[in-house]
Amino acid sequence: MKLRLDRSSPVAIHQQLREQIQAALHVGQLRPGDRLPSLRVMARRYEVNPKTVLRAYRALKNQGIIEVRPGSGAVVGGETIERREEERALNLLRMARRHRAEALTAGLTAEEHRSLLARLDKEREQDHADRNIRPRIVVLECNSEQATLFSREITRRLHVPAFPLMLPASGESAEAILRMADLWVTTDFHYQEIKSRAEEHGRPCLTLRLDPGFSQAILAAANRGTVLMVHADISVVPAFHRALSNIGVTRETLDRIRGVSGTDLQAIRRELASADAVYVSPLCPEEVRALVPKRVLLSRPKWHIASSSIEALRAMILTLPTLARESAVPLALQARAPSPARAGDGEEESRPLPGRNAKIRRRLKR
């Protein structure tokens, strides 16, 4: 990991350090368990005061991102209360899988194993058989692209209802969604803000991180030439730029990553003329993807969320306390949550945001 500190920036150096380390974790350049340099090494390497580095490390520790160990630097994935709860949930998931393996070794089929557990705790089994009390997840993000994409992917991979909610998530409708949800998720960039609100509502909050393969594929293409990113919500591109900038990607490389709206067909055709590689969001209609020559079309990643984040979500869902919600899902929300995918489904299906498909088809017919 290489940090790029701008001493002419109005953003304080300790804040730049914190944001760049946080971004490196989000895009997969840093992973849980990785060791950061000690205060002295970091201060010497970037010619800053050790107290400045300490201030950045303390902020990251308070966020639950790192654990500071005197004399040996910091380790990603600190032992804060939130991280210990996540680790406990993961341990319980491993225990459940171990028990399932033991049942298989004993000759029990999956159905016989379920039947045995049901007899041991019939009442709880009946509760969890009721689809109306499945855990509900709300994905809070600052752009509709990630909020919608992450929600659909969580539903497909974990088979639970997940609802997108745009920040700042204010108003009566947003509050209804937050009260309805059993678990809140967001990215590292909004975690501290969302965690405080989740605690007020008595809900657990977890972070989502990008699958490292996604950003690596975009960067690899940008190192070879110009990359065009076609999104349903174009505001995701500047946010992606900021995350990449925070992990040391040069301005020259960032300038080769351009964005265009999936509804602006004229702009797409114009940008295609100079693009060496093109990524099309799964939220854009297939008609848009069909405009792109196959020789420059980047393979759509199977998943956008890191497997470690999905595993942590799965563990937390497994260990949620007995669910007690105020009411059923509001009617306005029922269209937001995709139906759970069948087990074994492949890559994320292409499903545009509501209301966009017909409009784009009319343009394509012209």
List of residues 6+ apart from 93 with CB closer than 8 A: 311, 314, 315, 318, 319
Q: Are residues 66 and 122 in the same domain?
A: no
- Is residue 35 situated within a structural domain? yes
* pLDDT over 90 (residue 340): no
8 A C-beta contact, residue 281 and residue 149: yes
Range of the domain at 179: 134-203+306-334
Which H/E stretch holds residue 321?
none
For 291-330, the pLDDT digits (tens) are: 999 999 998 888 999 999 999 898 888 777 644 444 444 5
For 157-181, the pLDDT digits (tens) are: 998 999 999 999 999 999 999 999 9
DSSP state of 131: G
- Is residue 6 situated within a structural domain? no
- Is residue 313 situated within a structural domain? yes
User: What CATH code is carried by the domain that includes residue 318?
Assistant: 3.40.50
- Is residue 364 situated within a structural domain? no
- Is residue 300 situated within a structural domain? no
Q: Are residues 285 and 220 in the same domain?
A: yes
Handedness of CA 235, 240, 241, 246 (dihedral sign): positive
- Beta-ladder partners of 231: 261
Question: Which of 70-79, 124-133, 233-242 shows the lowest mean pLDDT across its residues?
Answer: 124-133
Residue 90: per-residue pLDDT: 81
| Gap between the terminal Cα atoms of the chain | 49
For 9-19, the pLDDT digits (tens) are: 899 999 999 99
DSSP state of 4: -
Q: Are residues 145 and 184 in the same domain?
A: yes
CA atoms within 13 A on the CB side of 318: 20
Residue 78: per-residue pLDDT: 45
Q: Are residues 228 and 283 in the same domain?
A: yes
Closest listed residue to residue 113, CA positions, set 127, 122, 103: 103
Residue 292: per-residue pLDDT: 94
Residue 105: per-residue pLDDT: 86
Q: Are residues 196 and 314 in the same domain?
A: yes
- Is residue 260 situated within a structural domain? yes
Q: Are residues 31 and 179 in the same domain?
A: no
Question: Which of 236-240, 245-249, 265-269 shows the lowest mean pLDDT across its residues?
Answer: 245-249
Q: Are residues 122 and 146 in the same domain?
A: no
Kindly state the tokens that stand for 12: 């304080």
- Give the span between the Cα atoms of 252 and 243, in whole angstroms: 15
Average pLDDT, the chain: 82
Q: Give pTM, 2 decimals.
A: 0.69
Q: Are residues 257 and 216 in the same domain?
A: yes
Q: Are residues 170 and 284 in the same domain?
A: no
Axis crossing angle, helix 81-105 with helix 110-120, rounded to the nearest 10: 120
Q: Are residues 58 and 85 in the same domain?
A: no
- Is residue 296 situated within a structural domain? no
Closest listed residue to residue 286, CA positions, set 297, 302, 296, 275: 297
Q: What is the mean pLDDT of residues 243-248?
A: 88
- Give the span between the Cα atoms of 246 and 8, in whole angstroms: 16
* pLDDT over 50 (residue 48): yes
3-state SS, residue 280: strand
- Give the span between the Cα atoms of 5 and 45, in whole angstroms: 11
- Is residue 342 situated within a structural domain? no
Q: What is the mean pLDDT of residues 181-186?
A: 94
Q: What is the mean pLDDT of residues 140-149?
A: 94
Handedness of CA 294, 297, 299, 303 (dihedral sign): negative
Q: Are residues 169 and 318 in the same domain?
A: yes
* pLDDT over 60 (residue 98): yes
The domain total for the chain is: 4
Q: What is the mean pLDDT of residues 342-358?
A: 47
Residue 276: per-residue pLDDT: 96
Q: Are residues 257 and 277 in the same domain?
A: yes
Kindly state the tokens that stand for 308: 């470690």
8 A C-beta contact, residue 284 and residue 350: yes
Residue 324: per-residue pLDDT: 41
CB neighbour burial string for 308-345, b if at least 16 within 10 angstroms, e if fewer: bbbebbbbbbebeeeeeeeeebeeebeebbbebbeeee
- Give the span between the Cα atoms of 206 and 183, in whole angstroms: 8
* pLDDT over 60 (residue 347): no
Backbone angles phi, psi at 106, to 5 degrees: -75, -5
